[in-house]
Amino acid sequence: MSEGPPATRDRLVYAAMTLFSEKGYGSTSVSDILRQAGANSGSLYHAFPTKQDLLLAVLEAYKGGIEPMLLEPAWGAVADPVEKVFALLDCYRNHLAVSECTYGCPIGSLALELHEPDPPVRQLLADNFEGWRRHVEACFEQARPRFRPGFDPARAASFTLTVMEGAVMQARTYRSLDAFDQAVASLREYLDAMTIDHPPTEKD
Amino acid sequence: MSEGPPATRDRLVYAAMTLFSEKGYGSTSVSDILRQAGANSGSLYHAFPTKQDLLLAVLEAYKGGIEPMLLEPAWGAVADPVEKVFALLDCYRNHLAVSECTYGCPIGSLALELHEPDPPVRQLLADNFEGWRRHVEACFEQARPRFRPGFDPARAASFTLTVMEGAVMQARTYRSLDAFDQAVASLREYLDAMTIDHPPTEKD
DNA sequence: CCCTCCCTTGATTGATCATTCAACCAAGTG
DNA sequence: CACTTGGTTGAATGATCAATCAAGGGAGGG
């Protein structure tokens, strides 16, 4: 159908996505992006009025990519809703591991780098967090019967995001997965504590 | 004794500390710092070979300031060791509140902004985290009797740092304290679950 | 009074940055 | 073929940046 060529615009967004997550927004120059994408400045400024508009496109791409690029691969083989959450965390762990603890969550990095972001940028960062959180919430919602009555799936999902981002930050700072693994283990302890003690009848 | 004047060097460090935490390292120009400190570029480059060496001095200052500037004020009125931890978290909450959720943890911001920091910078960021973590660990250690046998104070302290940093990130991104408060509440649930159930004899 | 040492002054340098623009190209369309 | 439209080229622009440096100031010691 609308199968296009390797459109310049897309190459620019992809190059920017890569470089922003490698070096941050401020430390990535427009010429870095042009070199990586094999484009000229005129093309970039034909597609985007400004470097910041390119950032907006990148954040839109992340937002739209949560499901197909992140969750789909992470959840392919996992059925249990709570294990899906830990499979997702393990996916971040893998990214850290293969990059020697330098690649973390690109959204989190941008969120802390941009101290006074223009409203549309901040909104898209928040949208990304919110999208992620909602998918995790759905897992907890689906597993609700196994949790204690007061358990709040929305709050647990928010807490999961909190733990993931804090854990990634420490992994990158220490250049070690220790704190990350400990945080995930603690999160599991937390969820176990929220679980209804199954009557030790069946197989125990 | 060595009571000095408002030494230029100190004004520079203080100005840089303020500006780095307001706008980040990369977005703070040397001339911003000079203006804020009321100094000239020659003075800065007399005291520090490089902008990055000024960053090192700032990180050293944070490191040395953890106890007198952060813990002392936060813990003045609090005796219970576990409540000290929550008093510390409440201190970050206050900073967020008075700044409309823009000021968070300066170390965390720098840790995520500087993607490939020179080794000394990364080391000082890690030292700051480690110093913070150790003080929190001491609280949990002191309260150890009330926790279940397997409880690990070091891991709980690391988890507390994880939660604090993740919570600050979300507060800043959403420009709201909701996720922060939820994260702190969840952390308390976690610690409650780790606590030995007092025999319901006394007042219950 | 002079000399030395430490610190400051502030204009200057060269690099790099985001952005602009006139010219150009190629694919349609009539 | 003429003409428009959407996209590309890449040199040029002006701003801003970190860093430099020759010149000076002034306190203290002799």
Cβ proximity of B183 and B170 under 8 Å: yes
pLDDT score, position A200: 60
pLDDT tens by residue, A36-71: 999 999 999 999 999 999 999 999 999 999 999 999
Q: Where are the domains of chain B?
A: 1-48, 64-194
Helix or strand (DSSP H, E) at B21: helix B8-23
**pLDDT number for residue B197:** 84
**Where do runs of H (alpha helix) occur along B143-198?**
153-174, 178-194
How far apart are the C-alpha atoms of B167 and B80, rounded to whole Å?
Answer: 23
Q: Is B151 within 8 Å of chain A by CB?
A: no
Provide the pLDDT for residue B93. 98
pLDDT of residue A6: 64
Contact in structure between A173 and A96 (CB atoms under 8 Å): no
Q: Is A181 on the interface with B (CB under 8 A)?
A: no
The residue to which tokens 């893998």 are assigned: A94
pLDDT of residue B146: 97
| Residue ranges in chain B modelled with pLDDT below 50 | 1-3, 202-204
Nearest nucleotide (C1') to the CA of residue B33?
D18
User: Distance (Å) from CA B64 to C1' C4?
Assistant: 35
Which A residues 23-52 have CB within 7 Å of strand C? 28-32, 41-42, 44-45, 49-52
pLDDT (tens digit per residue) in B20-67: 999 999 999 999 999 999 999 999 999 999 999 999 999 999 999 999
Q: A1-48, what's its fold?
A: Arc Repressor Mutant, subunit A (1.10.10)
* The two three-digit tokens of residue A115, written as one number: 């101290």
3-class SS at A148?
A: coil
Amino acid occupying residue B99: S
Q: Can you say whether residue B16 is alpha, beta or left, with left for phi > 0 and alpha for psi between -120 and 50 degrees? A: alpha
Which residues between 30 and 89 in chain B have a beta carbon less than 8 angstroms from any beta carbon of chain A?
none
- Nucleotide nearest to A33 in CA–C1' terms: C18
Taking the C1' atom of every nucleotide in all shown strands and the CA of B41, the nearest one is: C10
List bases, strand D, within 7 Å of protein CB: 7-12, 16-23
**Rounded CA–C1' distance between A84 and C19, in angstroms:** 46
Q: In chain A, what residues touch B162 (CB-CB under 8 Å)?
A: 162-163, 166-167, 169-170, 179, 183, 186
How many angstroms separate the CA atoms of A63 and B43, rounded? 47
**Which chain A residues contact residue B129 at CB under 8 A?**
170, 173-174
Extract the residue ranges of chain A whose pLDDT is less than 70: 1-6, 199-204
Quickly list DSSP for A93-122.
HHHHHHTTS----HHHHHHHH-SS--HHHH
Domain range A59-194, CATH architecture: Orthogonal Bundle (1.10)
CA distances from A119 to A54, A93, A123, B174, B176 (A): 15, 31, 6, 11, 14
Tally DSSP H helices, then E strands, for chain B.
10, 0
Domain B64-194, CATH 1.10.357.10 — does that match? Answer: yes
